[in-house]
Structure 1
Amino acid sequence: MIELSLGELRSVTAYAVACAEPALSIFEQARPDDHRPHGAIEAARAFAEGAKRSKAIRDSAWSAQRAYQETCDAGQAAASEAARAAVAAAGAAFLHPLAKATQVWHILGAAGHAAYACELAGRPVQRPVADPVVVRVLSRYPNAPGGRGRAGELVRELDALLRKG
């Protein structure tokens, strides 16, 4: 088991929100009347800023997941990755204290999906600097796992960069 404080979970979630937010406009351009990914990011932000970790975060993540699936089914790849970044931002609040590589997705998944959304949309990748708390939490986990396509490659690249210091 990995020790995680509430403050650390809030820092990880704040980082995930900061990573996902730049990609939100990609989704909103494709689906201007669909606010589900925005809702997931806002629920995660509320937790990062001191609200309780609640069912509302999970519910908004599931809604954003449905937005991801709908855009994926419609062939809107950049928008679907942007929605997945929002799902991942909400999921960051539920980082588990298990020493498993898959947990790195709770820390860096929003960054990976947002970067991929930006690539697909032909936009520059905007990745915020991870604060030392996020890097310390990340260093307690195994390296990011293989797989998950281009977003997975981007997560592994970021994981390696952050661990280097």
Structure 2
Amino acid sequence: MAGEASGIVLSKQDLREVAAFAAGCAEVVLDVFESDQPDDSRPRDAIGAAWEFARGGERGKALRDTAWAALKAARSADTEAAREAARAAMSAAGAAYLHPLAKATQVKHILGAGAHAARAAELLADDDRSVGAGHLEQTLRRATPVVVDVLSRFPTAPSGGGRVGELIRALDSGLRSRTP
């Protein structure tokens, strides 16, 4: 049917690898949020739920609920850096919901946590883009061959999305360059 995206085969293990990658990206900047909102555990809970799924847990309502809660936490943060850190946590929990559709927008499920984390680091350093670039390098090293393989099954990241979109495209390009 016209306009429909074709399917991509994703195993549960593929989803677990992507969730582990995303959780690892998000937890690097968790302290940015917690310094801003020390009594709010929602981003920590989202990252914990992503790790639980990555280690064999279920992909159910509780995981989805922690993602939404982290997004709400982002709205309550006082600084933009803290908001981006909470969005990284939301993206980590949401990574388990990567859809097997050949749509460029699905790349955000794979790389969103890393991009939001890099943006949080930039903002914390007075919008220093070199800090973001260094953070992206760490993220590229964190990606396993399975994550790179999963990413390569999807179209390249879409345009738009402001600075976070730029960071997603930089990660996308960097990881795809590792594909044999």
Q: TM-score, normalised by structure 1?
A: 0.95
Q: Aligned-pair distance for 1:157?
A: 0.3
Match of 1:42 among 45, 48, 56: 48
Q: Aligned-pair distance for 1:70?
A: 1.6
How far apart in 1 are the matches of 2:174 and 2:70? 29
Structure-2 residue corresponding to 1:68: 74
Tell me whether 1:137 sits opposite 2:150 in the alignment.
yes
After TM superposition, list the pairs within 5 Å mapping 1:1-165 onto structure 2: 1-71=7-77, 74=78, 76-122=79-125, 125=135, 126-127=138-139, 128-165=141-178
- After superposition, the C-alpha distances for 1:78-111 in whole angstroms (9 at most, x for unaligned) are 0000000000000100000000000000000000
Gaps of 5+ in 2: 1-6, 126-130
How far apart in 2 are the matches of 1:30 and 1:129? 26
- After superposition, the C-alpha distances for 1:8-61 in whole angstroms (9 at most, x for unaligned) are 000000000011111101000111111000000001110000011111011111
The higher radius of gyration belongs to 2
How far apart in 1 are the matches of 2:150 and 2:68? 25
How far apart in 2 are the matches of 1:148 and 1:84? 14
How far apart in 1 are the matches of 2:31 and 2:75? 18
Structure-1 residue corresponding to 2:4: none
How far apart in 2 are the matches of 1:27 and 1:148? 22
Q: Secondary structure at the match of 1:93?
A: helix
How far apart in 1 are the matches of 2:31 and 2:174? 26
How far apart in 2 are the matches of 1:129 and 1:57? 23
Deviates more, 1:131-140 or 1:121-130: 121-130
Taking only the aligned residue pairs, the percentage that are identical comes to: 57
How far apart in 1 are the matches of 2:104 and 2:65? 25
How far apart in 1 are the matches of 2:23 and 2:75? 20
Q: Aligned-pair distance for 1:68?
A: 0.8
Q: Aligned-pair distance for 1:69?
A: 1.3
Gaps of 5+ in 1: none
Q: TM-score, normalised by structure 2?
A: 0.87
- After superposition, the C-alpha distances for 1:115-141 in whole angstroms (9 at most, x for unaligned) are 000110116624252100000000000
